[in-house]
């Protein structure tokens, strides 16, 4: 399982208390263990904190707000995705607005990625 460094673990605990509305909405689904899979929220992973992580499926889920399209964020996100891919993980990026508009469709897509085991692929989903 991925583990974070001490400072990242402290930050992850704080982030669990300060999740966005979209993250909370998605967590309400993932915490019920869809497909029998256990998801962790704000999971420390090396120098990063994954919004959601499923060890069994080797899947990282990142909820992206509009800010992820601005400034140096796309480059930082690509670097982060590469870090996870180097460890055999798939990163699935989901727009926060998609969670609010089509939670059922997002959930189906997450389960497809979890079942497929397509580790290391660059993936994103939009409705």
Question: What domains can be seen in the chain, in order of their start residue?
Answer: 6-122 (3.40.960.10)
pTM metric for this prediction: 0.79
Write out the chain's pLDDT in tens, 127 residues. 445 555 555 555 555 666 899 999 999 999 999 999 999 999 988 889 899 999 999 999 999 986 656 567 889 999 999 999 999 999 999 999 999 999 999 999 999 999 986 444 445 554 4
Report residue 120 as tokens.
Answer: 């290391």
| DSSP conformational letter for 70 | S
Burial 93-121 (b: 16+ CB within 10 A, else e): bbbbebbeeeeeebbebbeebbeeeeebe
């Amino acid at each position: 399982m991925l583990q974070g460094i001490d400072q990242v673990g402290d930050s992850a605990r704080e982030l669990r208390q300060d999740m966005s509305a979209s993250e909370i909405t998605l967590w309400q689904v993932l915490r019920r263990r869809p497909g029998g899979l256990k998801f962790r929220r704000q999971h420390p992973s090396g120098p990063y904190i994954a919004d959601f992580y499923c060890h069994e499926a080797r899947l990282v889920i990142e909820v992206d707000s509009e800010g992820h399209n601005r400034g140096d964020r796309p480059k930082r996100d690509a670097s982060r995705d590469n870090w996870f891919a180097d460890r055999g993980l798939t990163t699935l990026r989901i727009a926060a607005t998609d969670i609010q508009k089509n939670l059922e469709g997002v959930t189906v897509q997450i389960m497809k990625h979890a079942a497929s085991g397509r580790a290391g692929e660059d993936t994103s989903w939009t409705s």
